[in-house]
Structure 1
């Protein structure tokens, strides 16, 4: 997770280690200041994703592919965001105060939400690609069974990907700085080939959670954009602009964090570790902001959800009725066929 753990080139449980640790005070101070944003991200995500859940519960039914995928995306986002307050405290204190059991739970929740959010965003993009590009044949494929099975596969893959951090993530105390850390154990553990496990985790992060989502999202949105442009839709340029914004957001927020994370893990010298540490703290916050807003963003780009939100506003605050336009014709649930106009 690379929260605040200093880099020890030769870790030892003894009070004295012959190799001095790499001082990470400078980049960790930056991380501690930026981690204040974690509390705001958590509160915003709690409110925004809670609003999405209320709208789905109040106006929709879990009988459509879109709603099932959105619900799972919201749940994965909330799982991930629930770890941020603990990470914020940890980074500000540079000391883990919640105990070993909570460290294991915190690490498992963090990575499960982290991995599943990426895969659900990819799955949601692929589903929109099916609905738009193959609009005639899509309803035969895009049914409730397809949605449930797809979500189950995502949760299973995400849980399996958490095995490595679940094994390595633990608390450890170092006598040099008299602090307890909650991170990947820097030494050796009996009965485990840790170097192979760390190498496997590196390539898993690279291929499954960076290259695979990027390739799928770019391919799907390029196909969607081509389909929309080739159709006779008045608002096609507005839709293409929205597609461009979605792809750009994913690139700007997600790609730099993964690249820096991989480079940070492969850094050999103390100077390189510190340099990539600065970049990691900045890009991490960008990625977390994307996770925070993505379920809300993906939900409210749809006109039907926008209308549901306006209905809730005018019902709660009747005085807004003369300022807020509300369509009274909105079906009981969202159609499984997504048109370009409703992207």
Structure 2
């Protein structure tokens, strides 16, 4: 995320980011807040007897909402030409939440994918486990792993730095030593558990569900396929470009990739993919809508205007 200052290559800039991020983040913030807060209201206040998918959806909506809460600071940061004014602790909190929640989101998307796979391909097994505490245990484990990764970043020291022109960068311009030591565990875990494994699982579940549906087509199985389509679309559109670019960027920061032209391209592509990956927070509510008939029914009921009885009086001439 740095500008490659003090690197063997000349300094790389991407002035388009000062316009790209504020516009994209503003749209994502408004649409995402409406969709995710609406989903939380429906699933928590209106829906009873939550299924396993509902539990994962609630967790995903919470993750998206936390992510969205970091965007106003990021918008100001980029409008201010990447100059952070909110202090070190605010940088640590918002920066860590911003990047960690990206990987928590894809993890819960994968949990929903696995849940639908079991429901369609192994329905008898699903009937035995859907009302157990297994879903809650999985959700707790996901949050526990996320917190264990976030705490070292939060408590390990400042995550802002002063660059040329006396501007303060947040979660940027890490030194080579930071990338090889402090940031190493975070990046390895993020790439492995937050990118490679979830994307692989999604790619495997999709053809297996499709094969099952082709043999026994039912309304529930077709809805499960729609969910997998949506998860696959969000993963390929939002997460896959970001994950590939992040891997290349990480290799460049470790000085494994040293070609200057390639480094410049990676930096600019990373800015674009960071904007794209944020869009998952306003696309996930579409998944909530199609994942359960209860949400669809409740949502439409909330929007449906109340009918008023019309009283007609017939006058007759006397």
TM class by shorter-chain length? 0.7 to 0.9
Is the 8 Å Cα contact of residues 210 and 258 (structure 1) preserved in structure 2? yes
Q: Residue 261 of structure 1: CA displacement?
A: 1.5
**Which range moved further: 244-253 or 283-292?**
244-253
How far has the Cα of 1:197 moved from its partner? Answer: 3.8
Shift of 1:163: 4.3
Shift of 1:117: 1.1
Q: Report the alpha carbon displacement of residue 136 of structure 1 after superposing the two structures with TM.
A: 1.5
Retained in 2: the 8 A contact 1:125–1:217? Answer: yes
Choose the corresponding residue for 1:114, options 102, 119, 138.
102
Q: Conserved in 2, the CA contact under 8 Å of 1:64 and 1:144?
A: no
Q: Secondary structure at the match of 2:139?
A: helix
Cross-structure match for 2:196? 211
Q: Unaligned regions of 5+ residues in structure 2, if any?
A: 253-257, 310-318
1:171 corresponds to 2:157: no
Kindly indicate whether the alpha-carbon contact (under 8 Å) linking 2:47 and 2:294 is maintained by their aligned counterparts in 1. no
TM-score scaled to structure 1, two decimals? 0.78
Q: Is the 8 A contact 1:31 1:281 kept in 2?
A: yes
Are 1:131 and 2:119 matched, yes or no?
yes
Change (3 A) 1:119 1:247: same
Whole-Å Cα distance in 1 between the matches of residues 224 and 114 of structure 2?
17
Distance 2:237 2:39 in 1: 24
Partner of 1:103: 91
Taking the aligned partners of 2:236 and 2:158, their CA distance within structure 1 comes to 28
Structure 1 residue 200, shift from structure 2 partner: 3.3
Q: 2:268 corresponds to which residue?
A: 278
Aligned ranges for residues 118-197 of structure 1 at < 5 Å?
Answer: 118-163=106-151, 165-166=153-154, 167=156, 170-174=159-163, 176-184=164-172, 186-187=174-175, 195-197=180-182
Q: Distance in 1 between matches of 2:308 and 2:42?
A: 19
Residue in structure 2 matched with residue 330 of structure 1 by the alignment: none
Separation (CA, whole Å) in 2 of partners of 1:119 and 1:84 = 21
Tell me the residue number matched to 1:309: 299
Q: Is the 8 A contact 1:122 1:213 kept in 2?
A: yes
1:297 equivalenced with 2:286 (yes/no) = yes
SS of corresponding position for 1:318? coil
Residue by residue over 1:204-255, the C-alpha shift from the partner in whole angstroms, topping out at 9 and shown as x without a partner, is 2322111100111112222221111110437977864664353133212211
Residue aligning to 2:315: none
The one-character-per-residue Cα deviations of 1:46-68 (angstroms, maximum 9, x if unpaired) are 11011111211342126432222
Contact in 2 for aligned 1:264/1:277 (Cα 8 Å): yes
* TM-aligned CA deviation for residue 185 of structure 1: 5.8
| Structure 1 spans left out of the alignment, 5+ residues | 11-18, 322-343
Contact 1:46 1:78 in 2 (8 A): yes
Contact kept, 8 Å, 1:111 with 1:162, in 2: the verdict is: no
Report the TM-score, using the length of structure 2 for normalisation. Answer: 0.84
Structure 1 segment 4-153 matched on structure 2, within 5 A: 5-9=2-6, 22-25=10-13, 27=14, 29-35=15-21, 36-61=23-48, 63-93=50-80, 94-153=82-141
Paired with 1:117 and 1:207, the residues of 2 have a C-alpha distance of: 14
**Alignment-derived partner of residue 250 in structure 1:** 235
Alpha carbons 1:30, 1:278 under 8 Å: kept: no
Distance in 2 (CA, whole Å) between partners of 1:139 and 1:207 is 31
